[in-house]
A and B are shown apart, each in its own frame.
Chain A
């Protein structure tokens, strides 16, 4: 409980009742990660200093107004007055010079502290930005141990994880506010960053660089599991898709293979190998679909399949006018892919 209140208190104080970390998942000041908390510490320093400077200047301007009102009796004759240079030397050079020097030292110190983790990373995750979703790959020792998923990054709690960021099209930016600031993903280069969650939980993230029509719908989540849960998740994900267990699901697989889905999507173990859209081998284990646009429910899956272009206009996913029987079988099948 004290831990929770320590996390919530600063944002509650600063940002008012609606700004509790709980109802604003991307809150910059509600940190959990090792780099995120460093960055937020620097942020609080900057915010407090900034507010103090603004208050002092506002008071000086208002006081000038009040003073002039009191002395309103004299005429508007021009006069030479005092030189006033000490104002400029103290207020414009010496005091801001000291404050800015402290800011710079704090900045450089933080920059150095977050540059690299102190321990070897527990895992390396490849994150590939696409218009408009995230491909997530855990390269194992062989193809059977390689995990490919989308829009959700599982990490072991309390351990640094290295991220290798590339893009298949335009510039994107990887950003999970609670864990780390942005790292741009730029064609032709591999940028790396690292994250380390201090507590288990789900941390929201989104694309931080304008990347086209559906930039608004390019979310992802980082899920910090206990190391045991993480290893289990990794093993589950590496396995091929479960065989359909009932006739409806089997019919759903038929629909998937024959209606064009397999041209763009892969479900490992079925013979499908499309690489345009997200790997669906374990789609039912994910919490959202369409890069965070919708919660992952059967109804939303069906809605997405038939009306993707009205939910996320411009994306590569077409609106597929499937007969309702086929649609229901397909959704039922996808639901079995845990």
Chain B
């Protein structure tokens, strides 16, 4: 058993001074603290969630009954495109980056991410690209060809405004953020774990974000290339997609979905990982079949690269290739089934405590399965020809993205907010929150399966009364309004908790992972001493003894409160990728203005390119170069010391 050394022996004050950001504007703009960046990610992505939600509600108002005239077709097209790209690009992935950013170093026993300044750059470019894309909406020229943006409708012949220029440049801009963020996560998981936290002791959440990060690094180039081609074709008369000039409209579809389908797993695997953290905590036992869940996470990430053509079954491809992609799309259900039964078995073989996060998690399991089986339905090629591009697929995508992303995210807010703010969220309001969201969601989105089977196409701004879709759409609108009330209750609960929530203490849920070891909110340096890890659930070793998973008999127990201090500047351990042997003492970078300035310069370049203000684009480019030079300018640092 770990003996608790008095914390006072660690030079807490010195650590505090070393790691805390400077007060004032400089500190705000220059900080590289992963916790600050994580909080910013969470808040910003919630703002985008609300924006995307408002866009959806306006569309639902238009579709409530047949032949409505609230919106012009052009306005409707901008709204459904903005809703799609906002939710998919500026909410779903960044909110998970927020949690990973905040939680990872705490969970891994590190004092920061591997590349703290890159981390800051990742956030600032995310924010700047979001401002950029919403500029388009403010000037009434938002992207309007769908989030999938099929050529040739995106070309100037059919879409002469700035709309799709904003789309192309906004996505290129955002991929900078996502790519550097993913590289940072990969570097962190490989090098920044506490000594002893070998791969078989990693939390599943870490597996989830790690797999998603690898998938992002390999899939995002396809999107960047496609968006760059689009911009070049629109501005410089190149012909990548124009069939009349020898281009291929299907080239866009292949590039887009080669990115697009892995992206689905990028925005669900970390969320499923968060569920795999919450289920054991609230079921009071370790996760069932941990190695299977970890491996199925990775398997999903890999198979996810072999299914993109199931978005293109109606494009006239040969039967053999459709059979292959149909098979892959069906097989990918197996790793998901493994995870589902691991969660259900943990509930059955544990004693669940039904706090709000657990309610959301249980609801998530049901929604996940509905979204999963409707995915198998669309993998069956001949039936997909019927349901593709109908509301059936709208139902499917929302069961996947709301069911597997939003529900776990809300659960994760209830679960980790006490760590982040030091205060609990209200359980009473939480239960109301859960039931309004769960009932509203199913009332709103389940009928979309039916309107799809009744033949309602996606992306229609209105429909005739004779089509017979009126009552289904009315129910959908009512459900989505109830769901919106649920989201509002959630936001209210956050604000109530910030002002009046009960104090959480270090470990309010009596959870087993490392992020609950320090006080809440965590100090700037995370750990006064670098912990030494001997099991998968270091904080449950007292209760589980030798039955703690990952514990090797005779190797001793984890040390959380005593260990190596490392207080000569910003220091933490660099460890080996597999076994997490300490290899180096890493000197972490100081705060820096360059990530912020670089993002500002990129924003200037993007505005220059979209408005064809070439002087501004060049000025931004020069600014970017100057920032990179400043960033990389050598400093006097001693690195790579042997520990």
Contact = CB atoms under 8 A, between A and B. Distances in A.
Q: Do A and B come from one complex?
A: yes
Interface of A: 14-15, 18-19, 23-29, 35, 38-40, 42-43, 46-47, 49-50, 53-54, 57-58, 60-61, 63-65, 67-68, 71, 74, 76-85, 87-88, 90-93, 96-97, 100, 103-104, 106-108, 110-112, 114-115, 131, 169-171, 173, 175, 177, 180-184, 186-189, 191-192, 204, 206-216, 292, 313-314
Nearest to A107: B380
A211 B386 contact: no
B385 A180 contact: yes
Interface string B344-370: 111111111110000000100110011
Nearest to A178: B455
Interface in B517-534: none
Q: Is chain B's binding surface mostly helix, strand, loop or mixed? A: helix
Contacts of B385: 39, 180-183
A171 to B, nearest CB: 6
Nearest to A31: B386
Contact of A54 (B146, B243, B369, B464): B369
A209 B315 CA distance: 11
B337 A77 contact: no
27 contacts: A18-B471, A25-B468, A28-B454, A39-B386, A40-B386, A43-B386, A43-B387, A46-B376, A54-B369, A61-B344, A65-B354, A76-B353, A80-B285, A81-B285, A87-B349, A90-B341, A91-B340, A92-B289, A92-B296, A107-B382, A110-B381, A111-B381, A170-B150, A171-B153, A173-B314, A188-B249, A211-B153
A91 to B, nearest CB: 4
Interface string B258-280: 00000000000000000000000
Interface in B228-256: 242-244, 247-250
B85 to A, nearest CB: 14
B57 to A, nearest CB: 20
A215 B319 contact: no
A182 B386 contact: yes
Given A68-B352, A107-B381, A216-B462, 8 more contacts: A78-B543, A79-B350, A85-B292, A88-B292, A88-B342, A92-B296, A110-B382, A186-B243
A13 to B, nearest CB: 13
Given A84-B349, A184-B316, A39 B330 contact: no
Contacts of A170: 150, 152-153, 158
A61 B450 contact: no
Contact of B450 (A15, A38, A103): A15
A81 B537 CA distance: 15
Contacts of B330: 100, 103-104, 107
A313 B75 CA distance: 12
B338 A216 contact: no
B86 to A, nearest CB: 18
Nearest to B343: A61
Interface of B: 72-74, 77, 145-146, 150, 152-153, 158, 242-244, 247-250, 284-286, 288-289, 292, 296, 314-316, 319, 322-323, 326-327, 330-331, 333-334, 337-342, 344-354, 362, 365-366, 369-370, 373-374, 376-377, 379-390, 450, 452-464, 466-469, 471-472, 510, 512, 540, 543-544, 547-548
A215 to B, nearest CB: 6
Contacts of A88: 288-289, 292, 338, 341-342, 345
Contacts of B243: 186-189
Most buried by B among A82, A189, A212: A212
B456 A91 contact: no
B285 A79 contact: yes
B299 to A, nearest CB: 12
B249 to A, nearest CB: 5
Contacts of B150: 170-171, 209-210
A216 B73 contact: yes
A149 to B, nearest CB: 22
A93 B334 contact: yes
Contacts of A67: 348
A85 B366 CA distance: 21
Nearest to A83: B288
Closest 5 CB pairs of A and B: A181-B385, A26-B455, A188-B243, A84-B288, A87-B345
Contacts of B461: 213, 216
Given A88-B341, A169-B158, A15 B319 contact: no
Contact of B459 (A24, A49, A91, A210): A210
Contact of B73 (A58, A74, A169, A313): A313
B366 A57 contact: yes
A271 B385 CA distance: 42
Contact of B74 (A42, A186, A213): A213
A209 B460 CA distance: 10
Contacts of A214: 73
A314 B158 CA distance: 12
B456 to A, nearest CB: 7
Given A92-B341, A100-B376, A183 B466 contact: no
Contacts of A169: 152, 158
A47 B153 CA distance: 34
A71 B351 contact: yes
A315 to B, nearest CB: 10
Contacts of A28: 386-387, 390, 452-455
A114 B382 contact: yes
Nearest to B374: A50
Nearest to B289: A88
Contacts of B247: 188
A86 to B, nearest CB: 9
A14 B243 CA distance: 43
A307 B247 CA distance: 38
Contacts of B462: 216
A140 B367 CA distance: 54
Contact of A57 (B72, B338, B365, B471): B365
B73 A111 contact: no
A189 B381 CA distance: 21
A64 B389 contact: no
Contacts of B458: 210
B455 A107 contact: no
A97 B288 contact: no
A68 B183 CA distance: 42
Contacts of A43: 377, 383, 386-387
Contacts of A42: 380, 382-383
Contacts of A177: 386, 455
Contact of A46 (B74, B369, B377): B377
Contacts of B453: 14-15, 27-29
A78 B72 contact: no
Given A78-B540, A211-B153, A213-B74, A92 B334 contact: yes
Given A27-B453, A88-B345, A187 B388 contact: no
A26 B352 contact: no
B468 A79 contact: no
Most buried by A among B248, B289, B334, B362: B289
Contacts of A18: 468, 471-472
A57 B369 contact: yes
B382 A100 contact: no
A133 to B, nearest CB: 15
B334 A97 contact: yes
A92 B338 contact: yes
Contacts of A191: 315-316
Given A64-B347, A64-B352, A84-B289, A92 B382 contact: no
Contacts of B387: 28, 43
B466 to A, nearest CB: 7
Contacts of B471: 18
Contacts of B316: 183-184, 186, 189, 191-192
A78 B284 contact: yes
Most buried by A among B376, B543, B547: B376
Contacts of A82: 349
A175 B453 CA distance: 13
A209 B312 CA distance: 11
